[in-house]
Amino acid sequence: MARDGSVFRYDPDYLREQFAGLVIQRALPFNHEQTTRVFQKTMQPRYSWMLQASLTAEDILNQWPETEVGRIIRDYGEENNWRALQKRIVKARLNGGLHSTSDLVDLIRSSTSGAKVGRQGWIKTATRVFQALRIAVNDELKTLETSLYDSFSCLAPGGRLAVISFHSLEDRIVKQTFLDIIKSSSDDGNKKPSDLKNVNLEHDEEETKEPWIKQMIEGVGGTILTKRPITPSEDEEKLNVRCRSAKLRVIQKD
């Protein structure tokens, strides 16, 4: 794979080999300390959420329509206070706009000061807003979908692709893309409809040597080994608090 900014892109020249297994781990969520450090940087094209300087967070905040600004904060950041933030961001344009992380942080602080969000509530809100901007700038959700198809095509028969995501939007894309993959066979380039078969192994331990496989979905050219995602146990969460939102999904190529 060739690295392009902060996003990995599929390159057939590097991935001609058929793999027995591939693992994709999406970015871990920021904790409060990391988020605070991020706020010290400016919103310039070379910051980690910028891709080829073709679109920046600064562009979104100062030029995009109000409804689009609100949409990405709501959908990509899953921020409940998105309406108020949307209005204040657009209003800030009348005073010169937002051109640094400190500008945006000050706006978020003032927007959450009267809300019942706790002592560090503004940091949580800021984390979600910065996440939304990063996803929008890097087109991360579309890139994820493309990478799943490309990675699956690189698997050898019987090979597995495992994906760990930490964001509900990403997990939904992984789930739907896996289903789309096994609904059709792309080996000959022709899409073929398929009736998916649900296989329940929860009460039949002898059916598999891998007890973590409880429910599968069989389709054309592949099998989803995790009908429901695998999530961390309580012990795992105690060892690593940041893994709490992690979801693992696995697909196998036939």
- For 20, the 3-state DSSP assignment is strand
Which pLDDT does position 101 carry in this prediction? Answer: 87
Ranges of residues in the chain with a pLDDT under 50 are 1-6, 32, 36, 39-40, 42, 44-52, 189, 191
Q: Which residues contact 171 (CB under 8 A, 6 or more apart)?
A: 165, 229, 247, 249
Sign of CA dihedral 73, 74, 79, 83: positive
The neighbour count for residue 195, using CB atoms within 10 Å, is: 8
User: Which pLDDT score, from 0 to 100, does residue 227 have?
Assistant: 94
The pLDDT, as a whole number, for residue 33 is: 53
| Token digits of residue 197 | 């078969």
- Alpha carbon distance 161, 248 (integer Å): 10
Say what the pLDDT of residue 40 is.
Answer: 47
Distance of CA 71 to the CA centre of its chain: 16
Name beta bridge partners: 223: 218, 252
pLDDT per position as a tens digit, 138-177 = 888 998 999 999 999 999 999 999 999 988 889 999 999 9
Which single residue is written with the structure tokens 């997990």? 171
The whole-model pTM stands at: 0.76
Residue 121 CA: distances (Å) to CA of 92, 106, 127, 132: 21, 13, 10, 17
Residue 71's closest CA among 85, 55, 51? 85
Which residues neighbour 109 within 8 Å (Cβ) at sequence distance 6 or greater? 122
Which residue is listed with tokens 């080996």?
Answer: 187
Instruction: Give the domain ranges of the chain.
Output: 2-28+141-253, 52-138
User: What is the maximum span of the chain, computed from C-alpha positions, in angstroms?
Assistant: 68
CATH fold of the domain at 52-138: DNA polymerase; domain 1 (1.10.150)
Q: Which two tokens stand for residue 111?
A: 């927007």
